[in-house]
Amino acid sequence: MKYNRVLVDKNEVISESTYSAYYPKNTGKYALNVVLSGQANYTIEKREITLVPGSFIFLNHDTSYSNSIESKVEVNTFSVLFDPDFVADFEYSNLLQDHVLLDQPLRFKERERRFVESIHPLKGNIKFNLQHLAKHVENGVNDELLLSEYLNHCLANYYKLYHSEIIKREASLQFLNGTTKVEILKRLTVARDFMISNHNKRIRLEEVAQVACLSVNHLLRTFKQAYQQSPHQFLTGVRLQQAKHFLRNTDYPINEIVDIVGFECPSSFIRLFRNSFQITPGQYR
């Protein structure tokens, strides 16, 4: 087991490589959790999710959760734990004009931001930011000023991603009542996270709807509004992305990868892969 922990004021940055771990009742800080290889299981209040490579989850500071790893292959994880005051100050300083910030520099303590907790794709600027931050931590860099800048950039990139993944999708829902939009998106997020966490299993649409506390038809209609694709199309996309990960990072035979990521037969997988990426799985590897 390899475990690195760096303190940056009241924030923490943690990287870990292990086959087995269990951390119960985490709370008190905003948590950005990433799985770089393997998978990690989370119990978030009453929700059970699984994080896989290419994804991360951002949890609120007052959310109680536990996470565990039990794997035959080494699992690499990376976490950034933000102090609530750091997040509040970031949001306050980015929303208001400079003259207000000068007159009332500590007013940020009045704010406590709550995010819709969801699994997000690890891509773009936030991916590169976290990769560089992880490399610094692994190399033993303890320059607090440098690490603070990375944490600031990390939050800035997360806010941009959150705006596109949550705020814009919420606005796209065809309901007049804003409270209804928020509630529907929360339930769609539960459905989406359930499909990501169980992408390698046979999932029935009724199961997804039940987990989200929506009827099947309501789920189908609102999911399409929010994500511009059906639940089945979304699940297929998750499986294809995981297949790319295994093709790129393992020497598993294609037939075995097909089974691991949840496709039923190699021929349909190859056809879907080629249609999605304009290249065959073998050529991609």
pLDDT at 102: 46
Q: What is the pTM of this model?
A: 0.86
Say yes or no: 27 and 160 in one domain.
Answer: yes
Say yes or no: 252 and 204 in one domain.
Answer: no
- pLDDT tens profile 232-254: 999 999 999 999 999 999 989 99
- pLDDT tens profile 97-147: 544 444 555 554 555 778 999 999 999 999 999 999 999 988 888 888 999
Alpha carbon distance, N-terminus to C-terminus of the chain: 30
Residue 271: domain span: 234-284
Say yes or no: 41 and 108 in one domain.
Answer: yes
Q: How would DSSP label each residue in 49-94?
A: EEE-TTEEEEE-TT--EEEEEEEEEEEEEEEEEE-HHHHHHHHHHH
Query: Quick one: CA dihedral 120, 34, 199, 271, positive or negative?
Result: positive
pLDDT at 16: 94
At 96, the pLDDT band (50, 70, 90 cuts) reads low
pLDDT at 108: 47
Q: Which of the two residues, 28 and 179, has the higher pLDDT score?
A: 28
Q: What is the mean pLDDT of the chain?
A: 89
Neighbours of 209 (CB within 10 A): 20
Token readout for 115 is 């995010």
* Long-range contacts (CB closer than 8 Å, 24 or more residues apart) made by 183-186: 184/222, 184/226, 185/116, 185/226, 186/116
- pLDDT tens profile 16-62: 999 999 999 899 999 999 999 999 999 998 899 999 998 999 999 99
pLDDT at 177: 79
Helix residue spans in 112-177 (DSSP H): 124-138, 144-162, 168-172
Say yes or no: 17 and 100 in one domain.
Answer: yes
pLDDT at 191: 97
Distance CA 279, CA 259 (A): 20
The count of domains in the chain is 3
Residue 72: C-alpha distances to residues 16, 20, 67, 106, 156 (Å): 16, 9, 17, 49, 36
pLDDT at 110: 55
Distance CA 268, CA 256 (A): 14
Please enumerate in sequence order all residues whose Cβ is within 8 A of that of 167, keeping only pairs 6 or more positions apart, or say none: none
If we measure between CA atoms, which residue out of 98, 52, 95, 58 comes closest to residue 80? Answer: 58
Please enumerate in sequence order all residues whose Cβ is within 8 A of that of 88, keeping only pairs 6 or more positions apart, or say none: 108, 109, 111, 112, 113
Say yes or no: 15 and 137 in one domain.
Answer: yes
Say yes or no: 257 and 161 in one domain.
Answer: no
CATH code of 252's domain: 1.10.10.60
Say yes or no: 124 and 213 in one domain.
Answer: no
